[in-house]
Structure 1
Amino acid sequence: MDKKRYTSLEEIFSDDSLGLLNVKPAAQVISEDERLINSFQEIIEFYEVNNREPHKKNGFKERMLHSRLEGLRTNESHIKKLSSFDIYSFLPSLDLEDETTVENTIEEKPTVEITSVQDILDLDPFGLLGGGSAEQLGIFELNHVTAHKDREKTDEVAKRKRCKDFDQYEPLFKKVHEELKSGERKYIDFTIGTLKENTFYLHKGMIFFIESIDWSRENSFKEDGTRVRKDGRTRCIFENGTESNMLYRSVEKMMYNDAGKAITHPISGTEDYLFNQANLVQEDDVATGYIYILQSKSPNQFIQAIPNLHKIGFSTTPVRTRINNAKNEPTYLMDEVHLLSEIKTYNLNPQKFESIIHRVFGEVCVDLEVADKYGIKHKPKEWFSVPYSVIDEVIDRILDESILGFSYDPKKMYLVKR
């Protein structure tokens, strides 16, 4: 048999009939952390497509995601690693758990129902199935997902926790969805400097409500001329049942960077609409909030010296719940308050109701300054020096529309005809 003569390396390589020169590339090894992030990202992408968490009874793939999510929620190590990727607050917040933990006690593990081999694989409490190559782990993956390593960890992350009084807010979110569908509310582009209390917003497909802003820093300038912008903690309620105390500037940055939307208040025309809707309460009427009148119990001599000092405002939750922590909130002068009156409103915009009251008593609005427990100064609003009986009369006149013909005389301390 004649030996075959080769004249180039290319001829040698092309004549490899036994495939001895075909070297398989080594399987790409992924770290346990990368596998963890990829698996969590699949849950996030499912939520973004379906606008809900995966359910246990909707087929194998969705059940696998459901089991995976339940397993992550009980693993403190995984929660810590995934905190910067948890943009929809699927996982519990470790640093904001209730401060009622008891030392030296045995932690009870939540019971997980095992009904299939897949449930056992998803639990894997000792990590016996982890750390393999991408090829070995492929049967457990829906698809290959690149980890989003460039997600920025903002003040939002690790600040969300379960909203314990969410049952008070859930009907409001349902109503907002109905009003958006009917056209009574609309989405508008968000712009810097427009965040407000008692307003709904849309961020990455999720609606949230800014209930309050506790300002702790006013606009100012440093000695070198650098501007320090106004800031403070917010209370944001999210429609998935969580809440956060993000800084105002962090919420603003989050909305701006992700092209968030503001949600307009219901289209209600003029104040005549408010009056016309405030008279009769029927079975199908919708409660929209509470107008309240408070009196401070503060022993501070300066506060006690102000005659007829009352706070007039509104709340979307029962007022007794709202003022439960009054002694720790600057808006209530860092002390207990006495609830003089609570009026439940129906079919009307309580903000507008409140706006009319404040306009009537604008001349007797009291400028107050109070320090919180950290010594930070605050200027609480909605405190007025006006007799309770006059406030009560104004509310009645708003309801019967006669307020349009009256104004408040601070010297005489009663309503006068215009």
Structure 2
Amino acid sequence: MADLTDDELLAELGVEVEQQKARTYTPREERIMAGFEDIIRFMEKHGHPPQHGEDRDIFERLYAVRLDQLRAQKDCREVLHGMDRHGLLAEAQNEATIPAEEIDDDLLLAELGIEPVAEDDIRVLRHVPTAEERRAAEEVANREKCEDFAHFKPFFDQVQQEIEIGARETRPFELKAEIRPGAFFIVGGQTAFVAEMGEVFTNPQGRSDARLRVIFDNGTQSNMLMRSLQRSLNKDDAGRRITEPEAGPLFSGQAEDGDEASGIIYVLRSKSDHPVVAENRNLVHKIGVTNMKVEKRIAGARLQPTFLMADVEIIAQYKLFNINRTKLEKLIHRVFGAAQLDLVIPDRFGTMIKPREWFLVPLNAIDEAVERIRDGSITDYRYDPSQARIVQV
């Protein structure tokens, strides 16, 4: 015998199958059920009913108000009786809920800052940003033109120069305590300067906060909260704090107690017979930094392209203490960059090499640069070949 379905088997036995009529629901009841399904899914995902509160996600807040409405209306509870497997409708209403008769869907959405769509259904939203997106948009929107930016621009220029020469560093942002007047940060690809800080207060969440005046390097400013800046820095993968410049001169001529020798700035003059060098013998100088005796550093100079494949003579030496030699050497070369000697020579294997530590500068300009390094003013100066002297930029 061929396999029979249940209905066919019952028919063979003479049993009449009573067809159960499916219940139909009104559009309103369908919306109520669909809305309650959203609440159930939230409950099963998060382990608690949706709750009210400014710090809650927008959808959780919507679900919380919707649940209050469903609890408050008898016909809604009747429609949902068979679906309420978590007993959500039986729970007592929270005192902070909004009575259903006092607020409709449109008013609810307006209260939450959301524009409702044409359908009369608070489940259907458009242009609903996340809490983070709303905060970010508010922070950008709150920026305005900084009318006195000319006062702050030199600060940004100086900080950039100090980063380039190694006097300042950029490090990952870590603590809220780092946010204080005079501090610099990199956030959203812009350098930000905390110009002012108001009185510290306690926000509704019980945390300390303060109103800031933050100036940005694009000429805008914002009166943002300290925690808003903290949040932006934490959220930005490229967010950084800019360290304070190291106190004191880069080096001094004499060691003090506890100082450790770091190296020597040396100035050399070449004995090369190259036409350019021979013609400008008193101006062509090599400026470098070493951690060994200069005499040892220049041994075998005639075999090294960095010394122009010729012997050299020592013109000046400056002892360094507690200094980063690499950063200092970059600083010196940046100061004299406009006067770098444009010269290519062959090494002993015939390979053409362009030495990079030779400059067409008089010795007195080098002496002045060293003095300005000592007093910390060198970041504002560069060598000008047209004037053959150190000038302020």
TM-score by length of 1: 0.34
Q: Which has the larger helix fraction?
A: 2
Which one has the largest radius of gyration?
Answer: 2
TM-score by length of 2: 0.36
